[in-house]
């Protein structure tokens, strides 16, 4: 455990939409976030890789993607559908829920797809600082967790491994994770229902709970524009308005003053990787 309160401020879903990329780039530039992760199968993946070429020091991991949750904005795998049929629904897209991934995913096909996402990110110039997983889909069943850990070791890329994940794992996997990986002590993210009060109040409560060890605060960034509204239609949770509120908060003086007041050290996945 790290001896003082340390936290990543991490943005998910890079590559989902241009709005997401633009907002994430702004938050990186302003110091509002310390890390982010990219969705390789998504349409705006290549756009961000071009930005990364001129900003190679950004702390960017791979947001392993096996779900496609939006109503009308869909994506499938990096690999041809014939190679990963168990990961796809009747229309050829990823399933919308993590539960369906757990029900249908063939581990061999999942490993091929996850490996292909990592390889594609690297081929486009991304230097992954870590692996994490969209909607927790790689945690859907123990066989997928084993693949997650196996590829982390093979590619020498740290994984986002929260301590809370261990409780649902078989004992042999728990022991492996504890031995091999730097564990995230506490993870903070807005509940799917959204804050009871204001964004400022809700995130303030989270920051009050940050304590010695490794903490991660996950945010979802975008501009509340026509593109993001169309992507997230019928999804107020993590939708366009939500994401712009996240963007505004991580760039606010209130946020940075509170981090300073609580003596929270901001860290990156690159720094966490050096602790392995």
Regarding predicted confidence, which is higher, 11 or 170? 11
Segment 266-276 shows an average pLDDT of 83
Segment 117-138 shows an average pLDDT of 96
DSSP element (H, E) containing 240: helix 240-250
The residue to which tokens 């209130």 are assigned: 254
pLDDT > 60? residue 179: no
**In angstroms, what CA-CA distances link 107 with 102, 113, 145, 221, 269?**
10, 10, 10, 31, 27
Q: What is the pLDDT of residue 215?
A: 93
pTM over 0.85? The answer is yes
Smallest CA-to-CA distance from 153 within 8, 7, 273, 13 is with: 273
Query: In the CATH hierarchy, which fold is given to the domain comprising 5-273?
Result: TIM Barrel (3.20.20)
Q: Which two tokens stand for residue 208?
A: 């009050």
Q: What is the pLDDT of residues 189-241, one digit of tens each?
A: 998 887 777 899 999 999 999 998 889 999 999 999 999 999 999 999 999 99
Angle in degrees, 0-180, between the axes of helices 142-155 and 171-180, rounded to the nearest 10: 20
pLDDT over 90, % of the chain:
77
Domain ranges across the chain = 5-273
Q: Which two tokens stand for residue 140?
A: 């859907």
């Amino acid at each position: 455990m790290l001896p003082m309160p340390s936290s990543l401020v991490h943005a998910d879903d890079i590559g989902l939409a241009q709005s997401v990329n633009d907002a994430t780039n702004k938050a990186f530039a302003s110091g509002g976030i310390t890390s982010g992760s990219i969705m390789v199968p998504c349409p705006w993946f290549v756009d961000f890789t071009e930005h990364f070429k001129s900003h190679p020091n950004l702390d960017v991991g791979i947001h392993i993607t096996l779900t496609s949750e939006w109503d009308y904005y869909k994506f499938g795998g990096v690999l041809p559908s014939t190679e990963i049929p168990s990961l796809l629904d009747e229309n050829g897209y990823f399933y919308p829920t993590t539960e369906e991934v757990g029900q249908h995913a063939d581990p061999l096909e999942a490993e091929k797809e996850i490996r292909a996402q990592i390889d594609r990110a690297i081929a486009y110039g991304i230097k992954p600082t870590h692996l994490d997983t969209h909607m927790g889909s790689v945690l859907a069943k123990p066989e997928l967790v084993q693949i997650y850990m196996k590829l982390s070791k093979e590619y020498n890329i740290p994984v986002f491994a929260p301590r809370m994940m261990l409780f649902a794992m078989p004992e042999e996997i728990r022991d492996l994770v504890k031995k091999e990986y730097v564990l995230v002590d506490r993870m903070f993210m807005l509940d799917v229902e959204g804050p009871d009060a204001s964004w400022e109040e809700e995130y303030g409560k989270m920051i009050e709970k940050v304590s010695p060890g490794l903490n991660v605060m996950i945010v979802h960034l975008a501009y509340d524009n026509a593109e993001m509204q169309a992507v997230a239609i019928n999804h107020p949770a993590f939708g366009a308005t939500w994401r712009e509120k996240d963007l505004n908060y991580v760039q606010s003086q209130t946020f940075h003053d509170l981090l300073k007041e609580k003596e929270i050290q901001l860290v990156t996945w690159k720094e966490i990787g050096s602790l392995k």
